[in-house]
Amino acid sequence: MPNTIQLHRVVKAPPERLFRAFTDPLAMNKWLPPHGFVGDVHEMNATVGGRWRMSFKNFSGQALHSFGGEYLEVVPGARLRYSSQFDDANLPGQMVTTVVFKPVFCGTELSITQEGIPDMIPPEACYLGWQESLQLLVQLVEPEIPNG
């Protein structure tokens, strides 16, 4: 039976900046691949019904993992819901990820639920990967760098 994981974090950045990090291809390349991987966004149309595609490359072993899906719900600065499916036949099924951006006094409360994780992926590995990705996300969105 497919697994579901839930993540929660408070980030010292406004919801709009976090939302942009989830919908900007260059940002996704920088923060989503967990440690040891590099990312490449091939397609991203962050509108309801729009498609997205991405791949992760294992930097040391060079293995490539590609996946993509469709945006199911897009509420700028507040909520994002999208499907994902691996191209690898050994990782069947469709996942749905829901991201909620809630403004709080010190930034944004970020809640992520990922449903339908293939049985071949242990939930602990999924949590580990997301924790590494969220660490990189925070490093991207928290700094206040003036234009210049």
- pLDDT the model gives residue 5: 96
22: part of which helix (H) or strand (E)?
helix 15-23
pTM: 0.94
Residues of the chain with pLDDT under 70: 1, 148
For residues 134 and 7, the answer to whether their CB atoms sit within 8 Å is: yes
- pLDDT the model gives residue 120: 87
Rg (the chain; Cα; Å): 15
Distance CA 18, CA 51 (A): 20
- pLDDT the model gives residue 53: 98
Annotation: CATH topology of 3-141: Alpha-D-Glucose-1,6-Bisphosphate; Chain A, domain 4 (3.30.530)
- pLDDT the model gives residue 146: 87
- pLDDT the model gives residue 90: 84
Distance CA 59, CA 36 (A): 6
Residues comprising the chain, all counted: 148
- pLDDT the model gives residue 61: 83
For residues 89 and 76, the answer to whether their CB atoms sit within 8 Å is: no
User: Quick one: how far is CA 128 from the chain centroid?
Assistant: 13
Task: Report the side by side order of strands in the sheet with 64-75.
Answer: 3-11, 107-117, 95-104, 79-86, 64-75, 51-58, 37-44
- pLDDT the model gives residue 24: 98
